[in-house]
Amino acid sequence: MKRLRTQVGIVGAGPAGLLLGRMLHLEGIDSIILENRTRDYVVGRVRAGVLEQGTVDLLHQVGLGERLQREGLRHCGIHLGFKRRRHRIPFDELTGGRSITVYGQNELVTDLIAARLGTEQPLYFDVRDVCVSGFDSAPRIAFHLADEECEIACDFIAGCDGGHGVCRPSMLATAAQVYEREYPFAWLGMLAGTPPSCEELVYALHDRGFALFSMRSPSITRLYLQCAPHEDIDDWSDARIWDELTERLETADGWRPNRGRILQKGITGMRSLVVEPMRCGRLFLAGDAAHIVPPTGAKGLNLAVADVQRLARALAKYYHNGREDLLDRYSDECLRRVWSVQRFSWWMTSMLHRVPDGSEFDYRRQLAELDYVTTSRAAMTCLAENYTGLPFDAEGLASKS
């Protein structure tokens, strides 16, 4: 067996694990990152694309802002569409200049992997049989790399292995609790090789259900539509997808998404989930391993970044100052933000989706809510400040002082 030793063993090379590795490296703290997929798979995975202001600021602070600044699309608002009209919510005006940036998660992961590979810190792809243990006293991570049996001894384990990893179930074998909610609908998401026909995102509620117009670059449009959770993607021909999107998004002034070649499509179920607490001894969960939000509020990736920012700072205080108080507060402080974001994501989801057995009463109430949100400055401000992201902890990055 190959025996390895590090300070922090990180399971998962998604945004949470890679960013944690980056922040620890900047603090002079060693880590080993384990990922059970190949590098190509991780980089090619199309998921989130909206970065909150605080996420963008943090990426700049950790030296990952260059390509983001050049290629990211800064948006100062979104549109809400209903009754065949679009209504703009001007984030910058309502929040004192805050904005969001559209930059694909796969682009961010590409940057993070390149930054990691530029250091001596290990990142192993394609590992198998990862198993975490000993987190009450002497943490261990066992795994296979090629056919070799390996074990890492470490001070802490960061469970950043997403919604289907091994760290959450290991935590749940202890006293942790799960709070969850399934939604009776899913999103059909697709990527089209066509220039976006609107510069900002359009969230629409239609009699036939929700639709979202979004983009990844000046030549790639990203679109979503509400569908039933167990639908087969093969039942959705490209023509059917375009017809349905056009029907739900088109406005009376003639605006509609540009049609083009569909490059990728898939169906994802929607749920909310929170694990409490997010720590058990020396095992800390971060990102989707600890919580899942429905994507309507564009929060999953941003929430992962907020967790990591706290965890990196707490570990830095531990190693540089011998202080454990930030580690002790990690779970409570993260969960405060997690529940706030759960509330916002649930609210956006409830306002914009048609429930399969919902009544006409429900639909009319949703339309009345959209009418209020797009006409009351107070309601628009509430949406804008949550969408652009509540400020990260004022202490910012870890400091050695």
Ligand X SMILES: Cc1cc2nc3c(=O)[nH]c(=O)nc-3n(C[C@H](O)[C@H](O)[C@H](O)COP(=O)(O)OP(=O)(O)OC[C@H]3O[C@@H](n4cnc5c(N)ncnc54)[C@H](O)[C@@H]3O)c2cc1C
Residues designated as active site:
75, 203, 295, 299, 387
Q: Which is nearer to ligand X, 45 or 83 (CB)?
A: 45
261 in Cβ contact with 193 (< 8 Å) = yes
160 binds ligand X (CB under 6 A): yes
Range in contact with ligand X (rule: CB under 6 A) among 56-64, 164-172, 192-200, 392-400: 164-172
Judged by CB under 6 A, the stretch of 35-43, 54-62, 343-351, 360-368 that binds ligand X is 35-43
Residues 114-143 that bind ligand X (CB under 6 A): 130
Considering only 10, 20, 24, 42, the residue that binds ligand X (CB under 6 A) is 42
In 207-359, alpha helices (H): 238-249, 300-321, 325-352
What CA–CA distance (Å, rounded) separates 112 from 118?
10
301 to 360, contacts with ligand X by CB under 6 A? 301, 304
Closer residue to ligand X (CB): 12 or 54:
12
Nearer to ligand X, 184 or 269 (CB): 269
- Residue 350, C-beta contacts closer than 8 angstroms, at least 6 positions apart: 366
Question: Closer CB to ligand X, residue 12 or residue 81?
Answer: 12
105 binds ligand X (CB under 6 A): yes
Contact pick of 54, 162, 294, 389 for ligand X (by CB under 6 A): 162
Shortest separation between residue 134's beta carbon and ligand X, angstroms: 17
99 contributes a contact to ligand X by CB under 6 A: no
- With contacts defined by CB under 6 A, name the span among 65-73, 155-163, 178-186, 270-278 that binds ligand X: 155-163
DSSP states along 315-365: HHHHHHH---HHHHHHHHHHHHHHHHHHHHHHHHHHHH---TT--HHHHHH
DSSP state of 162: G
Pairing type for strands 8-11 and 156-159 reads: parallel
Among 6, 9, 10, 13, binds ligand X (CB under 6 A): 13
The two tokens of residue 55 are 């996420």
Strand order in the sheet with 127-133: 2-5, 148-153, 140-145, 127-133
Distances (CA, A) of 132 to 7, 142, 153, 157: 15, 7, 10, 8
Burial of 247 (0-12, 13-18, 19+ CB in 10 A): middle
Taking the C-alpha atoms of residue 198 and residue 180, their distance in angstroms, rounded to an integer, is: 35
Residue 104 found at the interface with ligand X (CB under 6 A): no
d(CA 363, CA 355): 9
Return the residue of 300, 314, 354, 386 that touches ligand X, per CB under 6 A: 300
Please identify which residue in 4, 7, 30, 37 interacts with ligand X, judged by CB under 6 A.
Answer: 37
Tokens, residue 386: 């949550």
Residue 387's H or E segment, with its range, is: helix 377-388
**15 makes contact with ligand X (CB under 6 A):** yes
Angle, to 10 degrees, between the axis of helix 360-373 and the axis of helix 325-352? 120
Minimum distance, C-beta of residue 25 to ligand X, in the bound complex (Å): 17
Of residues 14 and 277, the one with the C-beta less far from ligand X = 14
**Binding of residue 52 to ligand X (CB under 6 A):** no
Query: Is beta strand 85-90 parallel, antiparallel or unpaired with respect to 100-102?
Result: unpaired
Binding residue (CB under 6 A) for ligand X from 7, 69, 133, 268: 268
CB of 208 to ligand X, least distance (A): 20
The structure tokens listed for 382 are 């509430």
Query: Among residues 43 and 367, whose Cβ is nearest to ligand X?
Result: 43
Using the rule CB under 6 A, is 166 a contact of ligand X?
Answer: yes
Of the candidate spans 45-53, 63-71, 72-80, 241-249, the one that interacts with ligand X by CB under 6 A turns out to be 45-53
> Interaction with ligand X in 204-263: which residues (CB under 6 A)?
none
Nearer to ligand X, 50 or 94 (CB): 50
* Binding residue (CB under 6 A) for ligand X from 8, 10, 14, 52: 14
- Least distance between ligand X and beta carbon 160 (Å): 5
9 is a site residue for ligand X (CB under 6 A): no
183-204: buried (b, 16+ CB within 10 Å) or exposed (e) per residue? bebbbbbbbbebebebebbbbb
Please give the residue ranges that form the binding site for ligand X (CB under 6 A).
11-17, 34-37, 42, 47-48, 50, 105, 130, 160-162, 164-166, 189, 268, 287-288, 295, 298, 300-301, 304
